[in-house]
C-alpha cells in the first residue's frame, strides 16, 4: 500500500464532468487499497467557480462542499486539504500536518499541473500527469515547476513518436490514458437499448476554453474550430445530434441550431452529478470533435468524458487525434477526420448498435479501467527514471 497525495482541480471548478476527471483517480487508487489524500490550492485570484450562481470568487466553500458530497456518495474516506496560496491558510489539514504529509507521502501525483506549492518539494517522489498535450509543454500548465518532477505522463500518448508534433520540452513523456471506475456507471446498463432508438448522439464541451496558442508560426486552437467543420452533419444522418455547450455565444448557438443541431446549456447537465450521469445514460452515444491542437499535432489524446460514455455502455464517435496508433478502433470507439467519415461512422454504428454498445463497455474495462491504468502509473512512478544529468544541474 502506498501513501498518495493527489492534486487536482475539483474544488475550484466543481462541475460534474470536470470533477470526474480527477475523482476517478482518487476513487480508483482508494479501491486499489492505497492511502489517498486530496490536495488543491487557490491558483489565481477569483479562481473558484460557483455553478449555482454562475460566478467566480475567492470563496472555495461551495467547491469544498461539492467534493465532500462526491466523496461521501461513493464511500471515499479521503482527507481533503485546500490551501490559499496567498495567505497560506489551509482548510481541512493544518499547515504543519500538510508538510508532514507531503514529506512522508510515497507519491505526489499532480493531475494536470494546475496546482503548485513550495511545499511540493518536500515530497520525495513527484509525478506529473499532463491532461492537455501541447498546452502543457508550451507552458499553459505546470509552468512554475515543470522540471521539478521525477516522472512525466501525458494523455498525448503519441508524444515522442513519429508523426506527433507536440514538443517534448526536454522531458520524457510516458503515455497514459484517463482512468474510469466502471462500476459507478454500471447501473445504466438497465436502460433498455430500445428506449434509446430516437435518442440523440450527444457531447458536453467547453466551446473555446482558454483560447489558442501559437507555436512555430502555427495556430493551435480549441474545439470550436473543429466543430465548425461538422456544422452540416445533422442533415446527413438519421439520428439527432445534440451539443451541451459552455462558453458558446448566442450567435454560435443559433448557427448550429439552424443547421439542425439540438443545443443545450452545459450547466443544465453538468452542474449536478446525477444530471450529468443521467444525460450520458439517455444518450445513444457520443459524437464529438476534439481540440484543434490535439488533432493538428496528432497527439493521441483521448477524452476523460468519452471514457464515461464507454463505461455506461454508450459507443463513441470521436475525431481522430491519432488514437488508432495505440488502441484498436472501429468497434465501440469509431474515429473520423472528415465529415464524410463521421457520417460513415454513425451509419456503421447504427448497423450493429447492440454490438457497439457491448464493445464500448468492454473497452472501458480493458483499456481504461482504474485497474489497468493506475497500476501502470505506480509502476513507472516508483521506477528510477529521473535523469541524473538534471539532478547535477540543481
253 contact partners, CB below 8 Å, separation of at least 6: 245, 263
In Å, how far from its chain's centre is CA 151? 19
For residue 2, report the phi and psi dihedrals to the nearest 5 degrees. -110, 150
- CATH fold of 3-177+370-393 reads Rossmann fold (3.40.50)
CA distances from 135 to 14, 42, 107, 197, 254 (A): 22, 21, 24, 39, 30
Residue 164 confidence (pLDDT): 97
- Please name every residue paired with 81 in a beta bridge, in sequence order, or none if there are none: 39
* 299 CB-near residues (< 8 Å, 6+ apart): 133, 134, 155, 156, 157, 158, 159, 164, 166, 293, 321, 322
Q: Which residues pair with 5 in a beta bridge?
A: 37, 108
pLDDT given for residue 390 in this prediction: 43
What pLDDT is stored for residue 192 in this prediction? 60
Residues of the chain with CATH 3.40.50.2000: 182-368
In DSSP terms, 174 is beta-bridged to 153
Compute the distance between CA of residue 99 and CA of residue 120 in angstroms, rounded to an integer: 9
- Confidence (pTM): 0.95
- Domain 182-368 class, CATH top level: alpha beta
Which of 262, 304, 312 minimizes the C-alpha distance to 285?
A: 312
For the chain of 394 residues, list the mean pLDDT of each consecutive stretch of 10.
97 96 98 98 95 94 97 96 93 93 97 95 96 94 87 98 95 97 81 78 94 92 96 97 96 97 95 93 96 98 97 97 96 98 97 96 97 97 61 41
pLDDT of residue 394: 36
Around 367, how many Cα atoms within 13 Å sit in the side-chain half-sphere?
25
* Grid cell locating 371: 485497474
Helix (H, G, I), strand (E, B) or coil at 152: strand
SS3 (DSSP) at 167: coil
Amino acid at each position: 500500500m502506498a501513501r498518495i497525495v493527489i492534486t487536482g482541480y475539483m474544488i475550484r471548478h466543481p462541475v460534474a464532468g470536470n470533477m470526474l476527471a480527477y475523482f476517478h483517480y482518487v476513487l480508483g487508487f482508494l479501491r486499489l487499497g492505497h492511502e489517498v489524500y486530496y490536495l488543491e490550492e487557490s491558483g489565481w485570484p477569483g479562481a473558484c467557480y460557483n455553478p449555482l450562481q454562475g460566478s467566480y470568487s475567492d470563496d472555495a466553500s461551495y467547491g469544498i462542499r461539492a467534493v465532500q458530497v462526491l466523496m461521501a456518495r461513493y464511500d471515499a474516506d479521503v482527507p481533503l486539504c485546500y490551501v490559499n496560496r496567498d495567505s497560506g491558510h489551509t482548510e481541512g489539514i493544518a499547515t504543519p500536518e500538510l508538510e508532514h504529509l507531503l514529506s512522508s507521502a510515497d507519491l505526489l501525483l499532480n493531475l494536470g499541473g494546475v496546482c503548485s506549492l513550495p511545499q511540493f518539494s518536500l515530497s520525495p517522489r513527484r509525478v506529473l500527469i499532463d491532461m492537455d498535450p501541447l498546452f502543457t509543454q508550451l507552458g499553459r500548465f505546470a509552468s512554475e515547476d515543470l522540471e521539478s518532477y521525477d516522472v512525466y505522463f501525458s494523455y498525448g500518448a503519441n508524444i515522442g513518436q513519429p508523426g506527433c508534433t507536440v514538443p517534448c520540452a526536454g522531458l520524457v513523456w510516458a503515455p497514459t490514458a484517463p482512468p474510469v471506475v466502471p462500476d459507478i456507471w454500471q447501473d445504466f446498463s438497465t436502460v433498455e437499448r430500445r428506449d434509446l432508438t430516437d435518442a440523440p448522439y450527444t457531447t458536453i464541451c467547453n466551446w473555446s476554453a482558454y483560447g489558442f496558442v501559437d507555436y512555430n508560426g502555427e495556430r493551435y486552437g480549441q474545439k470550436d474550430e473543429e466543430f465548425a467543420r461538422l456544422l452540416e452533419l445533422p442533415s446527413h444522418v438519421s439520428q439527432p445530434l445534440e451539443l451541451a455547450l459552455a462558453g458558446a455565444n448566442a450567435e454560435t448557438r443559433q448557427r448550429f441550431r439552424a443547421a439542425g443541431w439540438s443545443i443545450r446549456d452545459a450547466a443544465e447537465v453538468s452542474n449536478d452529478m446525477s444530471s450529468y450521469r443521467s444525460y450520458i445514460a439517455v444518450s445513444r452515444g457520443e459524437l464529438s470533435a476534439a481540440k484543434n491542437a490535439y488533432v493538428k499535432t496528432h497527439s493521441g489524446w483521448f477524452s476523460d468524458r468519452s471514457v464515461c460514455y464507454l463505461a455506461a455502455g454508450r459507443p463513441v464517435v470521436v475525431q481522430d487525434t491519432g488514437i488508432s496508433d495505440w488502441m484498436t478502433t472501429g468497434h465501440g470507439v469509431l474515429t473520423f477526420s472528415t465529415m464524410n467519415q463521421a457520417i460513415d461512422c454513425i451509419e456503421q454504428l447504427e448497423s450493429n448498435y447492440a454490438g457497439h454498445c457491448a464493445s464500448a463497455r468492454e473497452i472501458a474495462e480493458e483499456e481504461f479501467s482504474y485497474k489497468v491504468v493506475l497500476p501502470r502509473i505506480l509502476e513507472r512512478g516508483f521506477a528510477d527514471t529521473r535523469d541524473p544529468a538534471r539532478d547535477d544541474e540543481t
